[in-house]
Structure 1
Amino acid sequence: MIDFSTIYKYSIAFSLAVGTFISSCGTEKKSEVQQNRISRPGEYVGYSEAIYAEEYDISSQYVEMRDGVKLAVDIYRPKDKKTGEVIDTPLPVLWMHTPYNRRYSGDTEEKLTVDCYAGTASELVKYGYVVATVDFRGLYGSFGHNEGFNRGEWVGPARNDAYDITEWLAVQPWSDGNIGMWGCSATGGSQMQAATTAPPHLKAMFPMSFDFDTYAFRVPGGIGNPSRWPQPDDGLTSQQRRDRWAATVDGDEDSTLLKAAIKQHEGTIESAGYVPFRDGYSDELTDEASKQWWVKSSPSTYLDKINQSGIAMYMAVNWDEGYTKHGPYFAFNNITNPTKIIMGPGVHCDWFTAQDLTGFDILVEELRFFDYWLKGIDNGIMDEDPVYYFTYNAPKGEEWQTSQEWPLPEEKRVKYYLGEGSIATIQPTDGGQDETRVNYDFKPGTNGKGAIVYETEALSEDVQVTGHPEMSLWISSTATDGDFVATIQDVAPDGSVSSYHIQGQLRASMRKQAEAPYNNLGLPYHSSNTSDEKLLVPGQPTLLEFPILPISMVFKTGHKIQLAISFAGRGTPKIEPAPKVTIYRDAEHPSYLVLPIIE
Structure 2
Amino acid sequence: MSIVRTLPCPVAETPDLGIVLSDGCRLSARVWMPEDALARPVPAILEYIPYRKRDGTLPRDEMMHPYFAGHGYAAVRVDMRGCGDSQGLIADEYTEQELRDAEEVIGWLAAQPWCSGSVGMMGKSWGGFNCLQTAFRQPPALKAVVSVCSTTDRFADDIHFKGGCLLGENFGWGAVMLSYSSRPADPALRADWRADWLARLEAEPWLAPRWAGHQARDAYWKHGSVCEDFARMTVPVQIWGGWADNYMNTVAALVENCAGPVKGIVGPWVHQYPHTAVPGPRIGFLQEALRWWDRWLKGIENGAEADPAYRVYRLESEAPDASAKHRAGEWVAEAVWPSPRVRREMWHLGQPPGVSHPRAPVGYLSHIEGEVRAEIATPQHLGMHTGEFFPMGLNAEMPGDQAGDDALSVCFDGSVLAAPLDLIGATRLSLRLSSDQPLGFVVARLCDVGPDGASVRIAHGMLNLCHRNGMETPAPLVPGEVVEVAFDIDQMAYRLAAGHRLRLALSNSYWPFVWPSPQAGRLTLTGGRLDLPVHQGAGTEWAPPPAEHASPWKHKVLRAAQTTRKIETDLMSGRVALVIRDDLGDAENLDHGLCTGETMTELWEIHPDDPLSARAVHTWEQRLSRGDWRVRTEARAEMTATASHLRLQARLTAYEGDEKVFERHFDEEVPRQFV
SS state of the match for residue 369, structure 1? helix
SS state of the match for residue 533, structure 2? strand
Per-residue deviation, residues 112-170 of structure 1 (Å, max 9, x unmatched): 34136xxx33322211111111111122222222222xx2x323x33211111111111
Q: How does 1:479-558 map to 2 (within 5 A)?
A: 479-500=437-458, 502-512=459-469, 526=470, 528-529=471-472, 531-538=473-480, 540-558=481-499
Q: Which amino acid aligns with 2:534?
A: I
Kindly indicate whether the alpha-carbon contact (under 8 Å) linking 1:483 and 1:572 is maintained by their aligned counterparts in 2.
Answer: no
Aligned to 2:615: none
The answer to which structure has the higher strand fraction is: 2
Aligned to 2:203: 267
Q: Residues 127 and 504 (structure 1 numbering): CA distance in 2 closer, same or farther, change over 3 Å?
A: same
- Relative to the length of structure 2, the TM-score reads 0.67
Aligned to 1:476: 434
SS state of the match for residue 568, structure 1? coil
Aligned to 1:459: 417
Q: How does 1:203-222 map to 2 (within 5 A)?
A: 203-218=143-158, 219-222=161-164
Aligned to 1:582: 524
Task: Return 5+ residue gaps in structure 1 as ranges.
Answer: 1-6, 18-49, 81-85, 281-291, 513-525, 585-589
Aligned to 2:79: 135
Kindly indicate whether the alpha-carbon contact (under 8 Å) linking 1:227 and 1:274 is maintained by their aligned counterparts in 2.
Answer: no
CA distance in 1 between counterparts of 2:17 and 2:169 reads 35
Q: Residues 454 and 122 (structure 1 numbering): CA distance in 2 closer, same or farther, change over 3 Å?
A: farther
Q: How does 1:326-341 map to 2 (within 5 A)?
A: 326-341=249-264
Kindly indicate whether the alpha-carbon contact (under 8 Å) linking 1:510 and 1:533 is maintained by their aligned counterparts in 2.
Answer: yes
Q: How does 1:103-182 map to 2 (within 5 A)?
A: 103-105=54-56, 111-115=58-62, 120-148=64-92, 151=93, 153-155=94-96, 157-182=97-122
Aligned to 2:515: 572
SS state of the match for residue 256, structure 1? coil
Kindly indicate whether the alpha-carbon contact (under 8 Å) linking 1:141 and 1:246 is maintained by their aligned counterparts in 2.
Answer: yes
Q: Shift of the alpha carbon at 1:486?
A: 0.3
CA RMSD of aligned residues (A): 2.9
**Is structure 2 residue 338 aligned with structure 1 residue 407?**
yes
Aligned to 2:562: none
Q: Which amino acid aligns with 2:45?
A: L
CA distance in 2 between counterparts of 1:532 and 1:225 reads 17
CA distance in 1 between counterparts of 2:278 and 2:212 reads 39
Q: Shift of the alpha carbon at 1:469?
A: 0.4
Q: How does 1:216-231 map to 2 (within 5 A)?
A: 216-218=156-158, 219-225=161-167, 228-230=170-172
CA distance in 2 between counterparts of 1:401 and 1:243 reads 44
Q: Residues 392 and 134 (structure 1 numbering): CA distance in 2 closer, same or farther, change over 3 Å?
A: same
CA distance in 2 between counterparts of 1:78 and 1:400 reads 35
Q: Shift of the alpha carbon at 1:498?
A: 1.5
Kindly indicate whether the alpha-carbon contact (under 8 Å) linking 1:509 and 1:533 is maintained by their aligned counterparts in 2.
Answer: yes
CA distance in 2 between counterparts of 1:195 and 1:97 reads 13
CA distance in 1 between counterparts of 2:99 and 2:132 reads 11
**Is structure 2 residue 245 aligned with structure 1 residue 317?**
no
Q: Residues 559 and 441 (structure 1 numbering): CA distance in 2 closer, same or farther, change over 3 Å?
A: same
Q: Residues 580 and 226 (structure 1 numbering): CA distance in 2 closer, same or farther, change over 3 Å?
A: closer
Question: Sequence identity of aligned pairs in percent?
Answer: 23
CA distance in 2 between counterparts of 1:352 and 1:565 reads 35
Q: Shift of the alpha carbon at 1:240?
A: 6.5
Per-residue deviation, residues 287-318 of structure 1 (Å, max 9, x unmatched): xxxxx3112231223545x33xx421111111
CA distance in 2 between counterparts of 1:572 and 1:554 reads 32
Kindly indicate whether the alpha-carbon contact (under 8 Å) linking 2:350 and 2:365 is maintained by their aligned counterparts in 1.
Answer: yes
Q: Shift of the alpha carbon at 1:564?
A: 0.7
**Is structure 2 residue 186 aligned with structure 1 residue 244?**
no
CA distance in 2 between counterparts of 1:475 and 1:370 reads 50
SS state of the match for residue 17, structure 2? strand
SS state of the match for residue 484, structure 2? strand
Kindly indicate whether the alpha-carbon contact (under 8 Å) linking 2:174 and 2:206 is maintained by their aligned counterparts in 1.
Answer: no
Aligned to 2:216: 278
Size of the alignment, in residue pairs? 493
CA distance in 1 between counterparts of 2:456 and 2:273 reads 18
Aligned to 2:408: 450
Structure 1 runs of 4+ aligned residues shifted over 4 Å read: 229-233, 237-241, 352-359, 394-398
Kindly indicate whether the alpha-carbon contact (under 8 Å) linking 1:102 and 1:113 is maintained by their aligned counterparts in 2.
Answer: no
Kindly indicate whether the alpha-carbon contact (under 8 Å) linking 2:270 and 2:277 is maintained by their aligned counterparts in 1.
Answer: no
Q: Residues 542 and 238 (structure 1 numbering): CA distance in 2 closer, same or farther, change over 3 Å?
A: closer
Q: Residues 128 and 262 (structure 1 numbering): CA distance in 2 closer, same or farther, change over 3 Å?
A: same
Per-residue deviation, residues 308-357 of structure 1 (Å, max 9, x unmatched): xx4211111112212x2232322222221111111111122352478974
**Is structure 2 residue 377 aligned with structure 1 residue 437?**
yes
Q: Residues 104 and 336 (structure 1 numbering): CA distance in 2 closer, same or farther, change over 3 Å?
A: same
Structure 2 counterpart of 1:425, from 366, 374, 381: 366
**Is structure 2 residue 367 aligned with structure 1 residue 367?**
no
Q: Residues 278 and 338 (structure 1 numbering): CA distance in 2 closer, same or farther, change over 3 Å?
A: same
The answer to which structure has the higher helix fraction is: 1
Q: Residues 474 and 397 (structure 1 numbering): CA distance in 2 closer, same or farther, change over 3 Å?
A: closer
Q: Shift of the alpha carbon at 1:259?
A: 3.8
CA distance in 2 between counterparts of 1:278 and 1:122 reads 43
Q: Which amino acid aligns with 2:350?
A: G
Aligned to 1:598: 535
Kindly indicate whether the alpha-carbon contact (under 8 Å) linking 1:91 and 1:130 is maintained by their aligned counterparts in 2.
Answer: yes
